[in-house]
A and B are shown apart, each in its own frame.
Chain A
Amino acid sequence: MRILLIEDEADLAEALRRTLVEQGYACDVAPDGYIGKHGIENWDYDLVILDLMLPGVDGRSLLRLLRESKATPVLVLTARADVQEKVSILDDGADDYLTKPFELSELLARVRSLVRRSVNQPTSIIDLGGVMISMAARTVKQAGVLVDLTPKEFSLLVYLAMRQGTVVSQADLYNHLYADGEETASNVVAVYVANVRKKLGKEIIRTRRGMGYVVGE
């Protein structure tokens, strides 16, 4: 899952970025509205976290822009907690909001919820036959036994699992697992797929020659 974080406060952005990455997301940070706008226009993020207090392009108009162009879910961060503000934020198109200061755990839960929503995944448990993925707990169980996956492996599996039955191209997988500027080897996706197969068995992820990977079916 690739997230765009539009936040100008450097220390806050770094704390959030690190946490999201550790949770297995790919995270791009835009330090102002202009770069944020550019990012939104040129990329298909799975989620945008937008801080309303932004230099450059006004956060609200950015929100509206997002709403008009893409279906990407938007989580808004705002310092104002009054009802009027909340109402207008939601009416302007935000899918969810969080008032600063917030608990990190709450942010993560809301992120999970929004990502689920974006693929119509109603609960945080995905059942892939023998394999049960709990997104909230970030655990994978096979036949009831806990299997240890690295964050990137987990992300890859979840990304495919949320699109059960759909073939996802390698390029697509790559773009949704890695942020701009992250250095990777060119076959990194294949490596991760192999890793997951090693831990959960070959059938968990199927290859469709020339098209990509698929889970389930």
Chain B
Amino acid sequence: MLRWYGLLMLGVLSAFGGLLFWQVQKMTWQRVDADLLSHAKAISASLARDRQDGWELELSFEYLHEMSEPTFCTVLDGDGEVLFHHGVGVPEAGTGPLAVTMSGDIRTIEILGRDGARVRVGTSVASESAFLSRLLLGILGSGLAVLAFGICGGWWLANRSLYPIKELTMAASQVGPRDLTSRLDTQAAPAELQELSDAFNDSLDRLALAFDARRKFTANAAHELRTPIATLRAQAQSALLNERTPEEYRETLAACVRASQRMSGLVDGLLALASVDGDTSLSDCQNVDLRSLVETATEGWQSNADDASVLLSCNASNVSVRGDQRLLANVVDNLVDNAMRHSDADGRIDVRLRGDGDSAVLSVSDLGTGIPSEALPHVFERFYRADFARSRMQGGFGLGLAITRRIVEVHGGTIDVESEWGRGSTFTVRLPATGMAV
């Protein structure tokens, strides 16, 4: 980078210096030439032919004296014979009507006079030449100095502005899964980089949050699995401590089965969550007839509801959405399952599907135990169980609603809950609809 900058500076300075010198030189010679020309013209005007075909030059003595040294003049006739000469200086041959020649330190101008006569005026331009030489050296010298200074200055400035980038780079390279707590010092960065630093810090915040959530989730999952494993082991070891009756063995084995079912259920829930978690796009997307999906899913719960003496009703209008059939069926299942868990005998669960504007609205309401207001903001969190004892007893893990929410989000929808402790709850899912009939 610096190389280009240096070359650029060199180019610019050279051009400037060159142009400057050239202008000054041109002006200098122009002045000298103008002077010489006026002399030559004056002398040419004073040339006359006398009666014998000779030449006569009427130049006053004063004029000649006026022509300051080191100027000289020479008049030649058509054949090159010197007719007149004044001053120190060597006459030089020229070509053309207005020839300017320069040889060493003498600059000569020659014009054609009458009858082929030629008038040459020259002068020593030693001082001008010296001046120009000095000027050239001066320009070169200062040019180099400016170049050097410019390069140094540029390098320093570049470094200064690069330093925060270097810091950013160093800070960024230290960030890893183990340490997501370090943040860049945005105060120290110059204005242009502050936005970058802020953006970087923001991503780190989001990453840290995501990592934290992951860590907590993994810990919770392992944690949840440990209890059924402990149960399994304790039951089996306890049974082995003594001679047992077949009935007792049966009991123990049944308890082991329960524990394994619990573990299996937990693993399934975790896997379901993991699969919807990773994907933000739906892999199997089609147009889904939500009405038939909801009706079929609800029907699946009818026998469970009958067994529990819960009245399950379904009222669905014609709406369709784009999405994954299986996942959407999961949503309905999870919500009805949740409602069932919260409902006692003689309870009531209503499943409704309707179109509203450009959305499909699915609501599942129950008249069961409801959710306490402190628990309400947390119900969709993983492993959260509002009524711990009840859900434990029923084999719940607190994952159903978390999975449901994730599925809804992936479909571009929203899910909300309204509930009153002791009176029941209503879960409402809104999804972008692709078609509906009123």
Hey, which bits of chain A sit against chain B, CB under 8 A? 8-9, 11-12, 14-16, 18-19, 22, 31-32, 53-56, 77, 79-80, 99-105
Contacts and interface: CB of A to CB of B under 8 A. Distances in A.
Given A15-B255, A56-B389, A79-B224, 14 more contacts: A9-B231, A11-B258, A12-B227, A12-B235, A15-B231, A22-B242, A32-B389, A53-B227, A79-B226, A101-B229, A101-B233, A102-B234, A104-B238, A105-B237
B1 interface: no
A55 B227 CA distance: 14
A103 B227 contact: no
A16 B238 contact: yes
A90 B388 CA distance: 25
B261 to A, nearest CB: 11
A103 B236 CA distance: 10
B223 interface: yes
A102 B238 contact: no
A77 B230 CA distance: 10
Contacts of A8: 389, 392
B364 to A, nearest CB: 25
A12 B388 contact: no
A16 B230 CA distance: 11
Q: How big is the B interface, by class?
A: 20 to 34
A14 B255 contact: yes
Given A22-B241, A80-B223, A55 B234 contact: no
Nearest to B389: A55
B389 A104 contact: no
B259 interface: yes
B388 A56 contact: yes
A116 B336 CA distance: 53
Contacts of B226: 79, 99-101
Contacts of B239: 15
B233 A55 contact: no
A101 B235 CA distance: 11
Interface of B: 219, 222-224, 226-235, 237-239, 241-242, 252, 255, 258-259, 387-389, 392
Contact of A11 (B222, B235, B389): B235
Contact of B235 (A15, A55, A77): A15
Give me the 10 closest cross-chain CB pairs, A-B, nearest first: A55-B388, A100-B230, A101-B230, A104-B237, A79-B226, A15-B234, A55-B389, A12-B231, A11-B255, A15-B238
B233 A11 contact: no
Nearest to A108: B241
5 contacts: A12-B234, A18-B238, A19-B241, A31-B389, A101-B226
A12 B392 CA distance: 13
A91 B390 CA distance: 31
Contacts of A55: 387-389, 392
Contacts of B241: 19, 22, 104
Contacts of A99: 226
A203 to B, nearest CB: 32
B233 to A, nearest CB: 5
B384 to A, nearest CB: 13
Given A53-B227, A79-B223, A103 B233 contact: yes
Contacts of B230: 9, 12, 77, 79, 100-102
Contacts of B219: 80
A54 B229 CA distance: 17
Nearest to A53: B227
A12 B262 CA distance: 13
Contact of B233 (A32, A53, A104): A104
B234 A104 contact: yes
A148 to B, nearest CB: 15
A147 B259 CA distance: 39
B229 A100 contact: yes
A79 B227 contact: yes
Contacts of B229: 100-101
Contacts of A16: 234, 238
Given A11-B259, A18-B238, A19-B241, A102 B233 contact: yes
A22 B241 CA distance: 9
